[in-house]
Each structure stands twice: as structure tokens, then as C-alpha cells.
């Protein structure tokens, strides 16, 4: 496609028409110039291609539901995400789709967000790495990905109108960081803006977000589309860099674009930029579509089961109750054993070809008894089902309870109001614990939940929403065919009020204040010294691992260099297994408030029983930096940084220290109201003040012999404004004008 030639031949009306969809899923055609339509489809963990838009835009073809992001993030496995992406990419090629809408890499600010099951993590580094790997897999097949929802889309409540009030440092370090990683490392074809406003401005017409940051700063060269129905002012959206409005606005907004150009309110040059990017997407899509691409749905279903096994997290395993012994009597109790909840509700809902239930798949390992135990249509105990379940449990050696959140508890479109499981399920578990001491609970949920039975049961398996192969994957883990290796990508607090966003979620009216700032997830629990129920990065295995020989390539490091970190991991148990090694960085002393530690590296390593292996991390300057709004850039303060290697955020095994220096100094501007202590922090300032005190006989020292008085005088003097020296000296030379000259000289030296 000769895009320059086509742009020259397009009429103004045709250009405007290309900036919106023709229907729910397609771009517009321009038959006169042979410009075809391309189709996009919902994802991100499976294909939700619609078959008959006229009859039902939500009716999708049969496809495979892979584990959702809440589960895949727990794999901490970049290769797994890439494998998943490649499978989805082949499916898209077969179905001649241009772009699959996903993944989402919004941060899990609150466990209550109804769409958390579609998002990866509370940690921006992990979220960015997982999303980038997913996209690399999809796009390796010649199909586009659409990273979403850009940005600060962290709740469903009033999502079309709410304004996320976030300071720039928090935006940069937490909410924009995963998108930045994706843009720079995976280069997605498209970006989807979010519904919400950011600091009062709709994402769909936010020039700072879509052009200044996304394009000019990060170098994004692809297409930006709206979330479905997110457009407020289409003309402002064009100016801001929103290329494609979805879905169709039935030509209404196209006319507004034409009118704005004709009135001189919008330049045709601005419009051309958007049209060019639409044409570039159409051109790319033509190369990727290939209906002859193999799509073996049953093969992909088996892949979904395999991937799910890598994501499941073993939270508790007292007395080695797991893996199960097929020779012992086991009971499966709970409707989810027969009818698993394996995906969330909303735009990502897959019409699965086949679904594995644990009750069916367990036949590969053993015969089990079964009782339904509860209903999901309402939160009400069915006494007959409860009685049957109790009797079934009495006759078994071990009981596996399949429980969690029904579909009605979490979905796109609304947020949860609490973290509790259905009361009928909690009562069931309580009653079962009274008649059997070997209770294991398998959880099906898309976000953290309260676990009041945590101290009563012997085993807890977090299966999250693991796709249509989850029933088989759970059985593989329960019976030890798969050694669980997942670790939590989010913190499980003991109670909702422990969460940092608790007071400000979901806000008041159309405003939500992110007053917890950068302290999201484990960053907050660490800083507040709050013990979570299960910490970020936590997960058990059927084997054990030891860490040793931590080595750093440097003890002192220039900020423009990289640091190589090596550590040896040994499988000290009798079972082959995988360990997720986590690297955290801690700034020992900082002039700004920083988290206790932050995840800056992770690797998943397979080790046979008794095997050792060296794990290597490479840290660049970003690993030590914080975002400094004063200079609109990332900044490193000179000092000691601890390199922490852990099995979780609360299980740090090894620590070493590196001193990092940076030639960049933050700009300073002292005034007569600046404190003496602040000026003294700089050698130049300290020397000038000493000269002043010496020349004018003013006091600048702390000579009191009494330690308490000396300390008081030291603190008070350091916090004294420079101007106050005039009042504490009888030297006539010490005037405000004289001190202003000193201030000017200090500023000149430091800048």
C-alpha cells in the first residue's frame, strides 16, 4: 500500500471516516481506493471473535480459554506468556483478525476492582514484563496486540466518568511504568486508551498522555484507539493523538471532524497523522491474515491445561497433606469440582469448545466420592446439600473442597464491595472441618479474598481463573504430576481495611484520590510493617530450595553502567521442581520517601532434585532510580543500595550492597527562607556559610557542653532560616542584602 499516494487522493470526508469504526469490530472501507476493512477482536486470554453482528454482537465462535492474567502472572515466567501469545496469534491468523484487544497491564490498586482478573499484578515491573512477553508472542505471528487500558484504569465504578487524581511521581513509578516497558520492549501495534479521566482530562483527549508521553517520550509509533464508547470530544481527541474511535459513531463524529477542519479549528495536517496510522495498521494486517494457519482447538486446550499447571499457587501444605495418595479415600466436595469457575465475566468471556472439570479429570489418578455442597445461584445454604457433604467427608481420609467466588461476585462493569467468599461456602468448610482433619481448599477467584478458615484447614491451593483446562491442571497438582511453582503476583491482606486504597476506593462521585501514592501493594505493607495473610511473591513447592553465593559485579557503580548479580539456587529436596528467584532493590537512605524495597528482577529456574544452578540478573540505572517531578526525569541519589534475593517479598534469603553514584545533581534554588541545614548539605554551601560566620562573628556552631542542649541547639540552628541570622547578630554588616548576595552565589555554584 502506497500510503503517501492514498493520503493525497483521500477526500476530507474519507479521511474523517477512517478515524472511526464501521460497526462494533471493523474499521471502515474506502472502496474507491481499495482500502479494505480490518477486524479486531476481544481477548486477551483467548479469542472472542463475533460471528453474527446483526443478530448478537456478543455471540462468539467456539475457542480456547487460556488462564487469565491473574493466574499467568503467578507463573513469573516470560516464556510461558510468550508461548500463550503465540498460540493466540496463530488463532488470530486463522480467523483473519488484525488485532487482538489485550493484554491489560493496569495495576491492581485495590483487590476490589471487578476487572482485576484481567490484570497481572500490583507490581509495575512484573506487570510490564508479563504483558511485554505476551505481546511478543502474539506479534511474532504477524498479528497485532492492543495494550490496555491506558491509563490509571483501576476500578470499574463510574469508569466512564471518574477522574483518577494522581500525582506525577506516582503515575510514573506505578501506573505508567508497565505501559512504558511494553512500549519500549514489545512495540505493540496498538494502544487502547481508558474510559476514565486522569487529573480531570479524559484519556481519549489527553495530549500529555497520548502524544507527549506515549509518542514523543517513549517513541510509540503505532495506532491509538479508544475503548468502546470512551470518546468525549472527537476533535480534541484527534488533536491529542487518538487515531481510531471504536466502535462506530454512525458517522456523527466523522461530521464533527470535517466541520472542525472547514472552520479552521482542526488542521488537516493533524487529521492526516491519525489517518496515516490507521492506514499503516490496515497495511500490516493484510500481511498477517492467513486462514490456512493451523488451529487445532483440542491441542490448544491441552496447552491451556499445561500452562495452568505452571500458574497454580500452593499457599498451605501442613503435614505434607499434598500431594494426594491415590490409594487413600478422597472426597471432592463443591460445585466447582464439577462445574469449575475458570474465567471472568465481561468482554474477555470465551465461548469454550470444551471445559475440563476436576471431577472428570481425577479419574486419571483415582476414584473419588463427590458431593455438591453448595449452590451458586444465591448465597444461601442448602441444608440437604450440606448434610450430604458432611456425610461424604466423614467417610473419606482426605477432603478437597472446591470453593471460591461465583460469577456474580466479580466481573467487568462493577467492583466488589468486600473480600468475602459466599457465606454458604464458609459454613460448608467449617462443618467439614468438624468431621475431617485433612481438609484441602482449592480456590477459584480472580482477586484476593479473605480466608477465615486459613488456620483450620491443612492445605490451600490457589487456582485463580486458570482457563478451560483448569480442572485437569488442578488434579495434576493435587496428585503430584505437576510440582506447583506459582507465586502470588499480589498481596493477600488479612482484611480489606489493611489495603492502602481502602479509605479512598472507589472515591466520591466522579473523583477518586490516589492518596496512598507510590505505596501500592507490598510497598505499603512493608512500609507500614503490616503482616499480610500471604505476601507478594509467596508460593510453596513439594520440594525445598536454598540460596547461596550472592555476587555483585561491582561494589561501587556509576549510574550509567549495569550491575551483574549472580546467585546460586539448589534444589535440596527429593522432587524436581521450579523456583522463582526474586531480586529486590532497597535504597538505604534517601532524601525522598521511597519503598522499603522494590522488585527489579525475577527468574524462574527448573532444578532436578539435588541440582544447583547459577541465576544471573542484569540491573540498569532504572533499577535504582525514582521519578523526580522537578526535572521531569528519573533520578538516582548517590548512596548505598541493598540487593536482596528472596523467595518472596517477605522471605529475603541473601543481601549485599552496592554504592551507586550519579553525576546528575537536582537543580536547587535557595532563598533567604531556606534552612541552614539544607544549605549545609552541599560542600559549597557549607563552606560559604562558614566564611560568613567567621567574617561577621556570627555563631554557626554548637559549643554547649551539655549534650541535650548541644543537640537541641544543633537541630534548631539547622532548621533556622538564613534570614534569621540578621536577628541573632549585632554585626551591622549582616543585612538581608548581604545574605541575599550569599544566596545568589550559592545558587550560582550549585547550578
Q: Which of 439, 433, 361 is nearest to 399 (CA)?
A: 439
Question: Which residues have CB under 8 Å from 527's CB, separation 6+?
Answer: 519, 595, 596
Question: Which residues have CB under 8 Å from 154's CB, separation 6+?
Answer: 106, 107, 108, 109, 110, 113, 164, 175
End-to-end CA distance of the chain: 52
Q: Which residue intervals of 230-313 are DSSP H helices?
A: 234-240, 252-262, 268-288, 297-311
For residue 342 the three cell numbers come to 475458570
| Partner residues linked to 442 by β-bridges | 402, 461
Q: At 477, which helix (H) or strand (E)?
A: helix 470-478
Neighbour-count burial of 72, counting CB atoms closer than 10 A to its CB (0-12 exposed, 13-18 middle, 19+ buried) = buried
Catalytic residue among 42, 90, 227, 356: 227
**How many Cα atoms are found within 13 Å in the side-chain-facing hemisphere of 26?**
16
Q: At 692, which helix (H) or strand (E)?
A: helix 683-696
For residue 405 the three cell numbers come to 467466588
In angstroms, the CA 267 to CA 273 distance is 10
Question: Which residues have CB under 8 Å from 439's CB, separation 6+?
Answer: 393, 399, 401, 429, 432, 433, 456, 457, 458, 459
In angstroms, the CA 541 to CA 314 distance is 7
Q: Which of 750, 692, 748 is nearest to 723 (CA)?
A: 692
Biggest CA-to-CA distance, the chain: 98
Neighbour-count burial of 593, counting CB atoms closer than 10 A to its CB (0-12 exposed, 13-18 middle, 19+ buried) = exposed
**Would residue 227 show up in a list of annotated catalytic residues for this protein?**
yes
Active-site residues: which are they?
A: 227
Amino acid at each position: 500500500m502506497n500510503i503517501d499516494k492514498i493520503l493525497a487522493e483521500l477526500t476530507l470526508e474519507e479521511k474523517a471516516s477512517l478515524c472511526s469504526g464501521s460497526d462494533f469490530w471493523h474499521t471502515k472501507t474506502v472502496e474507491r481506493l481499495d482500502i479494505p476493512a480490518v477486524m479486531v477482536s476481544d481477548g486477551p486470554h483467548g479469542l472472542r471473535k463475533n460471528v453474527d453482528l446483526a443478530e448478537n454482537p456478543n455471540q462468539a465462535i467456539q475457542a480456547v480459554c487460556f488462564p487469565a492474567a491473574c493466574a499467568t502472572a503467578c507463573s513469573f515466567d516470560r516464556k510461558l506468556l510468550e508461548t500463550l501469545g503465540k498460540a493466540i496469534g496463530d488463532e488470530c491468523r486463522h480467523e483473519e483478525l488484525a488485532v487482538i484487544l489485550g493484554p491489560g497491564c493496569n495495576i491492581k490498586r485495590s483487590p476490589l476492582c471487578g476487572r482485576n482478573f484481567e490484570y497481572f499484578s500490583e507490581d509495575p515491573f512484573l506487570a510490564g514484563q508479563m504483558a511485554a512477553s505476551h505481546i511478543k508472542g502474539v506479534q511474532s505471528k504477524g498479528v497485532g496486540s492492543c495494550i490496555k487500558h491506558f491509563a490509571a484504569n483501576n476500578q470499574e465504578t463510574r469508569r466512564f466518568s471518574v477522574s483518577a487524581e494522581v500525582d506525577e511521581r506516582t503515575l510514573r513509578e506505578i501506573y505508567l511504568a508497565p505501559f512504558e516497558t511494553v512500549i519500549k520492549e514489545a512495540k505493540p501495534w496498538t494502544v487502547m486508551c481508558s474510559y476514565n479521566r486522569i487529573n480531570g482530562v479524559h484519556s481519549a483527549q489527553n495530549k500529555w498522555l497520548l502524544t507527549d508521553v506515549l509518542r514523543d517520550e517513549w517513541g510509540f509509533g503505532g495506532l491509538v484507539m479508544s475503548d468502546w464508547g470512551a470518546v468525549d470530544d472527537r476533535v480534541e481527541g484527534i488533536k491529542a493523538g487518538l487515531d481510531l474511535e471504536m466502535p462506530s459513531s454512525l458517522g456523527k463524529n466523522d461530521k464533527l471532524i470535517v466541520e472542525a477542519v472547514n472552520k479552521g479549528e482542526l488542521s488537516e495536517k493533524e487529521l492526516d497523522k491519525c489517518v496515516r496510522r490507521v492506514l499503516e495498521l490496515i497495511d500490516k494486517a493484510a500481511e498477517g491474515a492467513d486462514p490456512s494457519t493451523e488451529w487445532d482447538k483440542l491441542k490448544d486446550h491441552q496447552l491451556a491445561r499445561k500452562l495452568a499447571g505452571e500458574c497454580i499457587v500452593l499457599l498451605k501444605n501442613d503435614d505434607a497433606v499434598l500431594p494426594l495418595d491415590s490409594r487413600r479415600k478422597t472426597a471432592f466436595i463443591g460445585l466447582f469440582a464439577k462445574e469449575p469457575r475458570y474465567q471472568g465475566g465481561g468482554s474477555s468471556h470465551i465461548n469454550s469448545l470444551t471445559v475440563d472439570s476436576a471431577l472428570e479429570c481425577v479419574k486419571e489418578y483415582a476414584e473419588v466420592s463427590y458431593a455438591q455442597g453448595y449452590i451458586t445461584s444465591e448465597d444461601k445454604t442448602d441444608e440437604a446439600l450440606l448434610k450430604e457433604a458432611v456425610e461424604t467427608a466423614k467417610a473419606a481420609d482426605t477432603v478437597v473442597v472446591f470453593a471460591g467466588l461465583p460469577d456474580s461476585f466479580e466481573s467487568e462493569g462493577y467492583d466488589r464491595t468486600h473480600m468475602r467468599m459466599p457465606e454458604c461456602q464458609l459454613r460448608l468448610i467449617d462443618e467439614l472441618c468438624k468431621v475431617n482433619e485433612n481438609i484441602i481448599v482449592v480456590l477459584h477467584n480472580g482477586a484476593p479474598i479473605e480466608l477465615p478458615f486459613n488456620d483450620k484447614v491443612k492445605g490451600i491451593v490457589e487456582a485463580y481463573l486458570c482457563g478451560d483446562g483448569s480442572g485437569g491442571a488442578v488434579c495434576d497438582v493435587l496428585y503430584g504430576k505437576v510440582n506447583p511453582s506459582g507465586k502470588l503476583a499480589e498481596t493477600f491482606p488479612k482484611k480489606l481495611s489493611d489495603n492502602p486504597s481502602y479509605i479512598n476506593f472507589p472515591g466520591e462521585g466522579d473523583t477518586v484520590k490516589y492518596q496512598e501514592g507510590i505505596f501500592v501493594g507490598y510497598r505499603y505493607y512493608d512500609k507500614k510493617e503490616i503482616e499480610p495473610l500471604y505476601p507478594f511473591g509467596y508460593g510453596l513447592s513439594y520440594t525445598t530450595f536454598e540460596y547461596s553465593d550472592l555476587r555483585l559485579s561491582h561494589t561501587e557503580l556509576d549510574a550509567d553502567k549495569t550491575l551483574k548479580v549472580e546467585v546460586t539456587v539448589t534444589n535440596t529436596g527429593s522432587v524436581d521442581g521450579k523456583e522463582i528467584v526474586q531480586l529486590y532493590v532497597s535504597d538505604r537512605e534517601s532524601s525522598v520517601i521511597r519503598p522499603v524495597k522494590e522488585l527489579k528482577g525475577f527468574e524462574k529456574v527448573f532444578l532436578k532434585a539435588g541440582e544447583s544452578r547459577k541465576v544471573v540478573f542484569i540491573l540498569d540505572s532504572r533499577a535504582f532510580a525514582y521519578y523526580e517531578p522537578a526535572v521531569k526525569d528519573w533520578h538516582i541519589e548517590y548512596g548505598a543500595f541493598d540487593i536482596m534475593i528472596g523467595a518472596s517479598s517477605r522471605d529475603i534469603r541473601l543481601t549485599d550492597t552496592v554504592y551507586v553514584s550519579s553525576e546528575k545533581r537536582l537543580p536547587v534554588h535557595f532563598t533567604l527562607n531556606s534552612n541552614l541545614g539544607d544549605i549545609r548539605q552541599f560542600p559549597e554551601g557549607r563552606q560559604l556559610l562558614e566564611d560568613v560566620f567567621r567574617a561577621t562573628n556570627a555563631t554557626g556552631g554548637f559549643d554547649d557542653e551539655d549534650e541535650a542542649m548541644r543537640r537541641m541547639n544543633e537541630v534548631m540552628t539547622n532548621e533556622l532560616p538564613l534570614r534569621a541570622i540578621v536577628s541573632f547578630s549585632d554585626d551591622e554588616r549582616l543585612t538581608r542584602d548581604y545574605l541575599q548576595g550569599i544566596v545568589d552565589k550559592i545558587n550560582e555554584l550549585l547550578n
